[in-house]
Amino acid sequence: MSLWEWLKEIFMKPGPPKGDLIEFYRPGYQHWGVYVGGGYVIHATKNDYIDDRATVTKDLIEDVAAGDEWHVNNKYDTRHEPRSPDVILREAKKMVGKEIPYSLLDSNCEHFATNLRYGVPMSGQAVIGKVLSYVPIVGGLVAGAQLANSASCSLKHNATALQ
């Protein structure tokens, strides 16, 4: 490979199409943003672990990835019509620097990115999180029902034994 080919490979590699969703793989979750060209992504970053706010920032993909894997994932394109790249970019750029509400299950970075792309906030992670949040409740109800059934059987057995 010539020096020129190597430099083209390194510096002129085309990025994803503008307006595409970028999924970053973090340990235990995924982070999401929208590609806006020039190697940049616009994304919502949670301010801290206590606050219920996020800040919208424009950062280089490589900085956001911070060594983690990433790829384009327009996973809802088959169910929702993507907005035009011009609309996505215009809306995304207007949001940079703004603070927005943040909730892991109702308003996270995936909701932000999908709302830009489709005009509809969606999050597969949040759906899974909501389902899993009901597991202790359902488990408690099942255990309570089993306990009540066991107590009822025990009472019936004791009542029969007394007759």
Q: Are residues 107 and 148 in the same domain?
A: no
Global pTM reads 0.71
Are 109 and 31 found together in one domain?
Answer: yes
The residues assigned a catalytic role are: 31, 43, 109
Judgement on whether residues 94 and 146 belong to the same structural domain of the protein: no
Burial bucket for residue 146 (CB in 10 Å: 0-12, 13-18, 19+): exposed
Residue 7: per-residue pLDDT: 63
Residue range 11-38, pLDDT digits in tens: 666 789 999 999 999 998 899 999 999 9
Mean pLDDT of 39-46: 95
146 and 111 belong to one structural domain: no
Q: Are residues 85 and 154 in the same domain?
A: no
Q: What number is the average pLDDT over the span 106-112?
A: 92
Are 141 and 114 part of one and the same domain?
no
The pLDDT value given to residue 49: 66
Domain encompassing residue 161: 124-163
User: pLDDT tens-digit profile of 114-130?
Assistant: 999 999 999 986 444 44
Whether residue 102 sits in one domain with residue 51? yes
Q: What's the number of domains the chain is made of?
A: 2
Q: How confident is the model at residue 161 (pLDDT cuts 50, 70, 90)?
A: very low
If you write DSSP's letter for every residue of 59-105 in order, what string do you get? EEHHHHHTTS-EEE--TTTTTSPPPPHHHHHHHHHHHTT-EEE-BTT
Residue 98's CATH number = 3.90.1720.10
If asked whether residues 22 and 86 sit together in one domain, one would say yes
How buried is 64 (Cβ within 10 angstroms: 0-12 exposed, 13-18 middle, 19+ buried)? buried
| Residue 31 sits in the same domain as residue 94 | yes
Domain check: are 77 and 25 in the same one? yes
Looking at the structure, tell me whether residues 99 and 163 fall in a common domain.
no
| Higher-confidence position of 81 and 29 | 81
